[in-house]
Amino acid sequence: MTMDEITWLPVTTILRETWCSCDFGAVSDYDDDTHFWQHLISNKAADSGFGHLVDSILEHGFAESSAVGWYDGEITEGHHRLVAAILLGMDEVPTSPYGGSWYPNGRRLSAHYNDDHHAIDIDV
């Protein structure tokens, strides 16, 4: 991933302009935007490895290569990273149409999912 593929977007822009998530469907499937975001945030923050991710972002920040996949109003990858940024009160997050889940130390962020598609372990 190169620098020109990364765009730092305000979190408020993502909150306002997202219409769809590959994990949670269309915002219009919910009563309103608030219910969509409440569902996404509570679901992702409840994963067992979420605290480790938050600690990692606090310690290392976001690397270019840990971009949230966001393209034309759709969250395609990095839901956990986005939720962490929201809960940490960050103003901006790196985004890329391709997403990205690599940290500066060269280790890949990966999640292991249960049958309900909830991450049960997040490795950094």
pLDDT in tens, the chain (124 residues): 444 578 889 999 999 999 999 889 999 999 999 999 999 999 999 999 999 999 989 988 876 557 888 888 999 889 999 999 999 999 999 888 766 554 444 444 444 444 444 444 444 4
Q: What are phi and psi of 121, to 5 degrees?
A: -155, 135
pLDDT at residue 7 in the model = 86
| Structural domain count, the chain | 1
Contact 93, 8 (CB under 8 A): yes
Domain of 54 in residue numbering reads as 3-123
The CATH number given to whatever domain includes residue 90 is: 3.90.1530
* Per-residue confidence (pLDDT) for residue 64, from 0 to 100: 54
Alpha-carbon distances, residue 56 vs 22, 36, 47, 71, 104 (angstroms): 24, 26, 15, 25, 11
pLDDT reported for residue 87: 96
